[in-house]
Structure 1
Amino acid sequence: MEYHASCHCKRVRFSFRSPEITTGKRCNCSLCIRKGAVLSSDYIPGDNFTLHAGESDLAAYLWNDKVMRHYFCKTCGIATYGAVTGEDGKDRYRVNLGCVEGLDALALDITIVDGKALPLADAP
């Protein structure tokens, strides 16, 4: 399926292809618990992700092991997605499902990830 998503002010717009979204993940690491976002259960390969608008409106937050780039809109502050570069040199994305048009992220079957206990490279 093709999904369309944006930040709150709609400066940042992107789409991605994924099987139908029926689940999400929340993480209890210090960053994710503060964001409160419901994330895509799986990473989205870079070939299935397209940023349509707002590249210059994005800022990235890097913390701890500096592997995941946590992107957010500089205007409205919404965390839109995270990106990590895989061993193959290609980016993979984990999307904030609250940004997806027509999707009720809080109605999904949500799994809690114990990010506090995971090695940093394995946290969402």
Structure 2
Amino acid sequence: MRAESDDTGEEVSGVLVALADPIRRGLLDLLAELGEATATTLAEQFPVSRQAIVKHLAVLDAAGLVTGSRVGREVRYSLRPESLDAATRWMSSLAADWDRRLAAIKRTAEAAERDFT
């Protein structure tokens, strides 16, 4: 398996930690649907306080998954889906490594079966 650069590893780790929480995944889904929204609007859809939503949005922001922009007195949040790219590349690489390993096991097993019969 290839080693990741420290920057990429930290980026992937931040994304995976952020995605581990179901409320944060729900926030991403809702932002994907709405395009952008305030913490107040988002909090109306979840069984937690607005303050809790703001904390979840801060985690998503730190992971690079959302961005907040001030419009007057409000902060409007929107998705930054490009931040999923590093995590997607890492998962694809991991899957490819496992595919290669499983193919090698299959070849070994098939060869053993031919030799046995």
Q: TM-score, normalised on structure 2?
A: 0.31
**Greater strand proportion:** 1
**Greater helix proportion:** 2
Higher relative contact order (CA 8 A, sep 6+): 1
Q: TM-score, normalised on structure 1?
A: 0.29
Return the index of the structure with the highest Cα Rg: 2
